[in-house]
Amino acid sequence: MSEQTTNPVGKSVPRVDAYDKVTGAAAFTDDLQFGPGLLFGRAVRSPYPHALIKRLDVGPALELRGVKAVVTGADTPGFIGLYLKDRHIFCTDRVRYVGDPVAGVVAASEEIAEEAARRVVVEYEELPAVLDPLQAIQPDAPLLHPDLGSYDVVPFIFPQPGTNISNVFRVRKGDVEGAWAQCDAVVADTYRVPHIQHVPIEPHVAIARWDLSGEVTLWSSTQSPFAQRDLIAHTLGISQGDMRVIGNYIGGGFGSKAGVSMEALAVAMARQVPGRPVKVRMTREEEFYCCFVRQGLVARVKIGGTKEGRILALQVEYYWDAGAYTEYGVNITRAAGYSSTGPYNIPNVKTDSYCLYTNHPVGGPMRGFGMPEIHWSIEQSVDQLAEALAIDPVAFRQRNCVQGGDVIVTGMTMHPHGLSECIERVAQRIDWGKKEVPSAPHKRRGKGVAACWKAPAMPPNPGSEAWVRFNEDATVSVGVGGQELGQGAFTVAAQVAAEALGIPYEWVRIANPVDTKYSPYEWQTVASRITWSMGNAVKAAAEDARRQILEIVARYWDQDPGDLDIRGGEVVSSKSEQSLSLRNLVVYGLPLPDDQGWIGGPIIGRGKFMPTYVTGLDPETGQGARAVVHYTTGAQAAEVEVDLETGRVELLCIAAAYDVGKAINPEQVHAQLEGGVVQGASSALLEALTFQDGRPVNASFVDYRIMTAVDAPQRILTDFVEVPQDDGPWGARGVGEHPMIATAPAIANAIYDALGIRFNDLPLTAEKIYLALQGA
């Protein structure tokens, strides 16, 4: 390591790579770990967006040499899902999107499995498809889940049986209808956000083995080892104690590897060949539409304010294109509802957020969890209202942004935060108010700003565990259940442990891979919650170990533990100025005088954290004492230059500032902001999954563009504010998802400033802008 530090919290400890001794070894190699017994699985997938399965004949596949087994929906009749159990592992009676798995083939090689999958005979009866959320909500729309009323569902999700609405979240605050007459300006518009893909570098991959003893092991590229254990075991009717999930380093996740998507296929296939491991790997094409995609959205927004510069009323309707199964996406609808005002104090609010079944791919979690989608409409609407009231957009946001102590949209009292300072900083970074000269006569420059907020979207009781165990030389093994997917979770865990114990960072080793048989529990690595929640558990475990050490040494020295401290790996006394190295004592203990025995022994600290203070919300009004644990707030400002001849947008500068509570690792905070800005800009300018009659037409990197260094902003200026969070480790709160929330609307507002043309639909492609210029 390039930096030595004994007090790492708040220091820029470098992020570690896959081979750093602090965080452990690299991923497994198939040949070394599984040997020649490894089998391969391929899925037979639906070519139709909506159809009944009339006949399924696997005989021709079984006749192919090298084929070991074929799995169908008859083998997996149970339902699976995180919040709403609405899908089978393999389809039973109908398919609901192109790519829905109908059967699984297990063979001696991938090539044989692929050939066998082509030989499975499936006869379908095609049904009318629902391909738009506004169509899905109509009373006469084809019903995609006739049995919706019988599905298991958590208490805070509200399906509407007999419709395509799998969840609805409502907010009723104040008197919206009465407030419109008091407004000096009202603007209303409709916005659309398309499906996009996470496109992780590493596609989904899983290897499962169902032992003859009945024990099941799943090696998975997953953000959710414990959730996968729970959901798959429950669906297949086995004990969670017999289901083991091992999660190695992840080659990119962004939410796509949360919950369960294709991993259950591997387990179901492995059950048919006991004792043999089965590997299932998604092709890049499958990755685009057979795993989670970001949900589409149609947003209708009406907002009004007074000439004094106050937002008085907001009415929003969200229609989520959640795809064929909404077992995870229903909570995106809920999160959108309780955050529907954006980071503004608005006294009168009416929100209706609908999660709608369509025959598109499965909508699920993606970085931001609904917040980039809703802020696309919120932040452009705020800009339009500011213009209608002839108020500067930055000043308008400063005047209306929520403050600590305000009662927000759900009736919760907002905690202290630094949003106002974030807005001020990003405006300063791009010289807000100063008109810049374009680089050529056929180009126009503009500047835009957007603010945002996001809470960890999760159940009210997601827990974290950790343990801290000393080795003989006083190095420390730290057990966590959170996953490392490039965001630096293991680095932060090591820093937190070192700080709380009073030892050098380099003495800490993170026990990995995460293994549900041995690792402490973690709900999921999602929701920007790991630094906060897992960090609290690690801190508690380290403090538990520290307490044990100080009590042992206090007895050995006959002193009060309150007079002792641990610094740099030594116990020191402020009273006697004695010192004692941790080496050996943390395992072997200390001898009592006159050879009268020993005290102490191996030190292991245990810690846990679970928020106990989140309350329920009224299903009709969305009101309650505390809807979420906290919000992370922030802002972005963009400067763009638009080519009038081509429509191409050049990102000259994007400034981003967020209130992180306490930056455990400032370097990683800056890295998160930079990465989030680029991903947000990519979704703003380039990305959209395109469908024709429900069939994906751009499921490859040839036709689906993501941002590269050529397209990225010329300058990315990052900053953070530290207003401590009362329930975070040293005041820290998460910032993993937030940097891509405000990017798209900031760019759109900058384009409007340059051209005077408002764009309501993403992405902001050169073609779309060129055609708008021709129309103008």
Active site residues: 737
Question: 17: which residues sit within 8 A by CB, 6+ positions away?
Answer: none
- Residue 596: how many CB atoms within 10 A of its CB? 8
| Residue 329 near residue 355, CB atoms below 8 Å | yes
Distance CA 624, CA 617 (A): 5
Torsion sign (Cα): 267, 270, 276, 281: negative
Give the 3-state secondary structure of residue 83.
coil
Q: Token match 């000393």: residue?
A: 470
Task: Calculate the CA dihedral of residues 270, 271, 276, 282 and round it to 10 degrees.
Answer: 0
Phi, psi for residue 709 in degrees, rounded to 5: -60, -30
The radius of gyration of the chain's CA atoms, rounded to the nearest angstrom, is 27
**Gap between the Cα atoms of 159 and 630, Å rounded:** 26
605 phi/psi in degrees, rounded to 5: -105, 145
User: What are the counts of helices (DSSP H) followed by strands (DSSP E) for the chain?
Assistant: 18, 35
Q: How far is CA 52 from CA 85, 135, 286, in A?
A: 20, 21, 22
Q: Is the separation of the CB atoms in 468 and 520 below 8 Å?
A: no
DSSP 401: B
What's the sign of the alpha-carbon dihedral 581, 584, 586, 592?
negative
Report in angstroms the alpha-carbon separations of 527 from 167, 365, 628, 662: 20, 9, 12, 18
